[in-house]
Amino acid sequence: RQAAPAPLCWSPSTSAYFDGVRAAGADSCDANWFTAGSGDLASPAGRPSFSAPAPAVLGYDASIFDFCTQQDVSGGGGGGGGSWQADLVARCVGANLNALRVLRGWNMCLNFRWLVCAARGKLPGQALRPELVFATRPGDLQVLRAYQRREGRGCIGGPCESHYSPEHIFFAEVCALSALCANGGELFSLPAGQRFECHFSAGGFEALVDQLTGRTKVAGSPPPPSPPPPSPP
């Protein structure tokens, strides 16, 4: 989660972040989203070598690993140099699938930027096709799981009491996509592995930004906390 002293990337006073995401230009989307990989991909300057247009793949970590393994057409069987994360990267690149695998410098701001790029078909290798594929069915999401034991490899960067788990991230991605894509309602009836073409909605993006920055109150959200009582004289 956001460190307490760190500036918030999507507070009302930081419109520059959303301006960059909204533009979805080369500076925002043309990046190496696989730096958990090995070799050249471990460098921010590296780029994946896909052999076909590569849709974005989303889901729980273990499901993404299994799905990329099943779809791998490279014949390499991974080859990540012993690291689970690097092995996942190798399998997904071999399967022509764009997964977000950034370990150092990851936060929800970077995750949201990747998601918008994916929804607009602007990730490297997507070839301007806004296609996504889900290793975990959005229709199988259960809210209670977010409050129970975290799946897979624990939480990101520390204990789950103060850090996000992969389950939390996937919940957030599906919720955001349901707003960003005009056809987002179709997400919840998709079979696992079926490609989904996002009809990106500029209005949906702006409405989501308003909710994230607090300019629009989300239905069902609690009222803001009351101000503290004045100090005694």
pLDDT one-digit tens code per residue, 134-162:
999 999 887 666 555 554 445 555 555 55
DSSP classification of residue 30 = S
Q: Encode pLDDT of 53-63 as tens digits.
A: 999 999 999 99
102 close to 33: Cβ distance less than 8 angstroms: yes
Q: Where is mean pLDDT largest: 5-9, 107-111, 119-123?
A: 119-123
81 band by pLDDT with thresholds 50, 70 and 90: low
Q: What is the pLDDT of residue 212?
A: 86
Which residue has tokens 């990046």? 31
Residues in the chain: 233
The pLDDT of 91-101, averaged and rounded, is 96
Tokens of 77: 């069987």
Provide the pLDDT for residue 167: 75
Distance between CA 180 and CA 135 in Å, rounded? 20
Neighbours of 102 (CB within 10 A): 18
What tokens appear for 94 in the block? Answer: 């071999």
The structure tokens listed for 13 are 């006073």
- What is the structure's pLDDT at 152? 45
